[in-house]
Structure 1
Amino acid sequence: RALLAVGAEKVIAIEKDTRCIAALRPLAEAYPGRLEVIAGDALTFDLATLGAGPTKIVANLPYNIATPLLIGWLSPAQWPPVWDNLTLMFQKEVAQRIVAQPGSKAYGRLSVITQWRCDAEILFDVPAKAFTPPPKVTSAIVQITPRAAPMAAIAQADLERVTMAAFGQRRKMLRRSLSGLGVSVPDLLALAGLEPTSRAEEIDVAGFCALAKA
C-alpha cells in the first residue's frame, strides 16, 4: 500500500499465502493496473519472467527463510542481475552479518558472499513495537546494490566451499580449518597470498576470492 501511495508505477506482489492474496484484492481494485498479485513461492520464483525494465525488490522477509531468499537473489546465472537493488528487512543480527567487515564477530560467510557481488548497508533499525504483535527481536532495513561486476571472476560454488571450511572453524588458523578441502593447504594459501596462521575472521572478501580462485 505504501509503495503505491508514494507513486510506484507498478508493484508486483509474489504471495504464497492464499489468505493474503484475498486480502490484497481490494488494494488492487483501489489502484487499477498498478498492483499485480502473483500466487507463488518467492524461493522458487524466476525473477527473469517479470520482463524488462527497472526492478527493485522490496520485502519484509519471513525470518525463517530470509537467508535462503537472499542467497537465491545473489546467485543468478548472469550478472548483473535483473534487479537494480534489494531493500529488505531482516532480523538485526542477520543484517549485521550481511554488512560486517573483517575483524568483527558478525563477519562470516554471508558477509563474504554478499559483498563479493554487491554493496550493502543498513539504512535503519525497526523496533519491535512497530509490529503487532511485537516480536522479541529488533529488525533492520538493508539495501543491497549489485556491483557492475563481481569483485573477482570466480565460481560461487568455489567461494561457498572455502568460506564454509574457513568459517566452520573460525577460531582455528587457516592451515587447520582448510584441511578438509582435500588439497595441499600450504600450496593453496601460498597461491592466494595468505598467511597460514591467519583466521577466517581476519581475511577480507578479496582474500577469500583469492582462495576460491587458487
Structure 2
Amino acid sequence: MAKISLPSLADTIRTFDLRADKSLGQHFLLDPALLSRIAAAAGPLRGVNVIEIGPGPGGLTRALLESEAAHVTAIEFDKRAVAAITQLAGTTERLSIIEADAMRADLAALVPAPRAIVANLPYNIGTLLLVNWLQNAADFQSMTLMFQLEVAARVCAQPNTGAYGRVSVLAQWLCDVTMLMRIPAGAFAPPPKVESALIRLVPKAAQPTKAELKLMERLTAAAFGQRRKMLRGALKPLGGEALCEAAGIDAARRAETLSVAEFVTLMRVLEARENG
C-alpha cells in the first residue's frame, strides 16, 4: 500500500496535546521502523479486518494501513486521541474510528470476520482485555499484542516456572502462543519503568464449549489460588484427592507443575462428575 503523507507523530502529539495519561496506561511508540516490524509480525493480513485498541497518536495505525489489511478499526477511549486519529480517517476509506471503552466493546459485533487484533495495549487493562478476548477466541484469526514484559512472560510461561499460572493455562489451552520480540523501555514515549514484549496468539481450530471454559476457569482458579498448597488441598472444594486420583495425577503435586494437557484431563474428570 502507498505510504500516507501526514504530520510526524511528534507533531501530532503536540497539536492534539496528547501527553500520555498514566491513568489510561498510555505509552506511545513513535519509531516508524519499529511500528512497521510490529505490523509485519502480525502475519499476512490480506483480506483481514484488523482491530487496534488504543491507537494513541496513530503510529501503529499508520503501519497497519501500509499493510495489506482489508480494513482497520481503531477503538479509542481518549477523546484527544480520537481527534488525532481522525486526521488519518480523512486520507483513506480503510480506517474506521470508534470512540469506546475496549473493556465493554463487542468486537465481533463491531467488525466483520475474518478479524485480527493488533495492538499496543494499555498497561493497566492489558491482562483483563486478553482474558475477555479468550472467552471468544474463535472470533479472531489471531491476536498480536504488546504487554509489559512481566505479563507477556506469564502468558507464554511453561510449567515449573514462577510465571506459570492461570493465564498461562487458559491462553495456551485456547491458542498457540509465541513470544515475538522484546521492546526496550526507551522505545516508548514516555518510557515505562519496565520492558515490553510482543506476543502472538493464534486460536486453535478446536475450541471448548462455554461450559468447558467455565469449568477450566474454576479449576485453575482453585489450583492457583493458593500456589503453595498441594493439589489435594487446593482442589478440595472440587474433589481434591479423589479428583486427582481419577485423573491419574499425584495429589501431592502443586499447580505450577501441571502441563496444560494435565489440566484438561482434570477438567474432563470434573465435567464427567458434575454431569454424571
Report the TM-score, using the length of structure 2 for normalisation: 0.71
Q: Find the aligned partners of 2:160 and 2:209 in 1 and give their Cα distance.
A: 21
Asked if 1:123 is matched to 2:180, the reply is yes
Matches within 5 A, 1:112-151: 112-150=169-207
Q: CA deviation at 1:6?
A: 3.2
Q: Find the aligned partners of 2:234 and 2:159 in 1 and give their Cα distance.
A: 17
Q: Find the aligned partners of 2:211 and 2:153 in 1 and give their Cα distance.
A: 25
**1:198 corresponds to:** 253
Asked if 1:83 is matched to 2:144, the reply is no
4+ residue runs of structure 1 moved beyond 4 angstroms?
151-154
Q: CA deviation at 1:151?
A: 7.4
Q: Find the aligned partners of 1:178 and 1:116 in 2 and give their Cα distance.
A: 20
User: For 1:6, which of 53, 63, 67 is the aligned residue?
Assistant: 67
**2:110 corresponds to:** 50
- Check 1:25–1:89 CA distance in 2 against 1; reply closer, same or farther (3 A cut): same
Contact in 2 for aligned 1:3/1:11 (Cα 8 Å):
yes
Q: Find the aligned partners of 2:210 and 2:135 in 1 and give their Cα distance.
A: 14
Contact in 1 for aligned 2:138/2:207 (Cα 8 Å):
no
Asked if 1:213 is matched to 2:268, the reply is yes
Contact in 1 for aligned 2:141/2:203 (Cα 8 Å):
yes
Matches within 5 A, 1:2-41: 2-30=63-91, 32-41=92-101
Contact in 1 for aligned 2:234/2:240 (Cα 8 Å):
no
Percent identity (aligned): 49
**2:56 corresponds to:** none
Q: Find the aligned partners of 1:101 and 1:88 in 2 and give their Cα distance.
A: 19
Code of the residue aligned with 1:96 in structure 2: it is: A
Q: Find the aligned partners of 2:141 and 2:118 in 1 and give their Cα distance.
A: 11
Contact in 1 for aligned 2:231/2:241 (Cα 8 Å):
no
Q: Find the aligned partners of 2:249 and 2:224 in 1 and give their Cα distance.
A: 15
Contact in 2 for aligned 1:151/1:206 (Cα 8 Å):
no
Q: CA deviation at 1:209?
A: 1.5
Q: Find the aligned partners of 2:106 and 2:206 in 1 and give their Cα distance.
A: 21
Q: Find the aligned partners of 2:144 and 2:179 in 1 and give their Cα distance.
A: 10
Asked if 1:74 is matched to 2:129, the reply is no
Secondary structure of 2:90's counterpart equals: helix
Contact in 2 for aligned 1:154/1:209 (Cα 8 Å):
no
Secondary structure of 1:11's counterpart equals: strand
- Check 1:192–1:151 CA distance in 2 against 1; reply closer, same or farther (3 A cut): farther
Residue-pair matches, total? 208
* Unaligned segments of structure 2, at least 5 residues: 1-61, 270-276
**2:150 corresponds to:** 93
Asked if 1:159 is matched to 2:219, the reply is no
Contact in 2 for aligned 1:170/1:200 (Cα 8 Å):
yes
Q: Find the aligned partners of 2:113 and 2:234 in 1 and give their Cα distance.
A: 44
**Range moving further from structure 2, 125-134 or 39-48:** 39-48
Q: CA deviation at 1:34?
A: 1.0
Contact in 2 for aligned 1:128/1:134 (Cα 8 Å):
yes
Contact in 2 for aligned 1:43/1:69 (Cα 8 Å):
yes
Contact in 2 for aligned 1:116/1:152 (Cα 8 Å):
no
Code of the residue aligned with 2:77 in structure 1: it is: K
Q: Find the aligned partners of 1:165 and 1:104 in 2 and give their Cα distance.
A: 18
